[in-house]
């Protein structure tokens, strides 16, 4: 964290951060999930607490101990994460959606374990859309609250990473969007990270690189001056 560890620019601020990846159950023992480790959201919580904030971490399947001074609220599924974020964010100054929320969940959850053989053997899994937590937080935010989204993007024929990110920012309506370029094989589970913070008008900040703590420090340095 370097000089960031001495900064106290979040004293008196209440921040709520989601981290990890949701798991959507299929039966009592199986789920649809993703590879998010929760390390970037965890680093954001740790750094915010070190800089003086009161921090709540809504953790979806994060296999890490609670950062010092941070209150952790566990959430397994997208619906649980939505409920926790709505409850915790009501009086927050900043809300950060760093979690990888599953876009879809199995339409039905079998009450008993799905077994091989017989007529009940599944050949496909019908999926339904999960709620968009970030979009809902933006709609319901109280005056003065800053809502920060995350996006992992790749460049393709339709546009480069920032083009896709700016379209997502406009669609979501959040105040800031942290963009990870995952074209080169992805950042999931790696200790190091690279990100750019986009402001609501699409302006890109300097590229943040290094450990997830260093990237977290850069993100808070982009957020703190925007707090009212």
What residues line the site for ligand CTP (CB under 6 A)?
Answer: 78, 97, 99, 101, 103, 130, 132-134, 149-151, 168
Kindly report the three-state secondary structure assignment for every residue of 180-214: EECCCCCCCCCCEEEEEEEECCCCECCCEEEEHHH
* 130 in active site: no
Q: Which of 147, 140, 149 is nearest to 90 (CA)?
A: 140
The CA distance from 200 to 173, in Å, is 8
Residue with the two structure tokens 């546009």: 159
The CA distance from 28 to 30, in Å, is 6
Structure-block tokens of residue 149 = 């989204």
The least CB distance from residue 114 to ligand CTP, in Å, is: 25
Q: Which residue, 78 or 219, is less far from ligand CTP as judged by CB?
A: 78
Does the protein bind Ca ion through residue 136 (CB under 5 A)? no
Task: Choose among Ca ion, ligand CTP, none what residue 99 binds, the Cβ cut-off being 5 to 8 Å by kind.
Answer: ligand CTP
The least CB distance from residue 103 to Ca ion, in Å, is: 4
Q: Judge whether 22 and 75 are in contact, CB under 8 Å.
A: yes
The CA distance from 147 to 135, in Å, is 10
Q: Which residue, 7 or 174, is less far from ligand CTP as judged by CB?
A: 174
The least CB distance from residue 108 to ligand CTP, in Å, is: 19
Q: Which residue, 67 or 149, is less far from ligand CTP as judged by CB?
A: 149
Report how far apart, in Å, the C-alpha atoms of 195 and of each of 11, 90, 159, 174 are: 25, 28, 18, 17
Q: Which residue, 7 or 77, is less far from ligand CTP as judged by CB?
A: 77
Task: Choose among ligand CTP, Ca ion, none what residue 151 binds, the Cβ cut-off being 5 to 8 Å by kind.
Answer: ligand CTP
Q: Identify the burial level of 4 via C-beta atoms within 10 angstroms of its C-beta, where 0-12 means exposed, 13-18 middle and 19 or more buried.
A: middle
The least CB distance from residue 132 to Ca ion, in Å, is: 9
Does the protein bind Ca ion through residue 103 (CB under 5 A)? yes
Report how far apart, in Å, the C-alpha atoms of 47 and of each of 65, 158, 222 are: 15, 36, 13
The least CB distance from residue 119 to Ca ion, in Å, is: 34
Task: Choose among Ca ion, ligand CTP, none what residue 212 binds, the Cβ cut-off being 5 to 8 Å by kind.
Answer: none
Task: Out of 34, 61, 130, 193, pick the active-site residue.
Answer: 34
Q: Which residue, 47 or 99, is less far from ligand CTP as judged by CB?
A: 99
Structure-block tokens of residue 163 = 């083009």
Binding residue numbers for CTP: 103, 113, 131-134, 150, 168, 172
Instruction: Provide the β-strand partners of residue 25.
Output: 31
Residue ranges binding Ca ion (CB under 5 A): 103
User: What residues are annotated to the active site?
Assistant: 34
């Amino acid at each position: 964290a370097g000089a960031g560890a001495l900064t106290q620019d979040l004293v008196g601020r209440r921040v709520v951060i989601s981290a990890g990846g949701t798991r959507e159950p299929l039966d009592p023992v199986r789920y649809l999930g993703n590879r998010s480790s929760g390390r970037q959201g965890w680093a954001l919580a740790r750094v915010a607490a070190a800089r003086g904030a009161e921090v709540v971490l809504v953790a979806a399947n994060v296999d890490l101990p609670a950062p010092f001074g941070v209150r952790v609220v566990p959430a397994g599924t997208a619906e649980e994460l939505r409920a926790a974020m709505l409850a915790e964010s009501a009086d927050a100054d900043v809300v950060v959606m760093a979690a990888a929320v599953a876009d879809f969940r199995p339409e039905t959850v079998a009450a008993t374990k799905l077994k091989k053989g017989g007529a009940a053997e599944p050949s496909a899994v019908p999926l339904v859309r999960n709620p968009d937590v970030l979009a809902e937080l933006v709609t319901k935010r109280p005056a003065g609250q800053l809502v920060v989204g995350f996006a992992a993007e790749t460049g393709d024929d339709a546009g480069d990473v920032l083009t896709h990110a700016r379209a997502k920012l406009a669609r979501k309506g959040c105040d800031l969007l942290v963009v990870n370029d995952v074209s080169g094989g992805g950042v999931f589970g790696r200790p190091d990270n690279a990100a750019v913070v986009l402001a609501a008008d699409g302006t890109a900040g300097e590229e943040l690189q290094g450990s997830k703590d260093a990237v977290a420090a850069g993100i808070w340095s982009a957020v703190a001056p925007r707090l009212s």
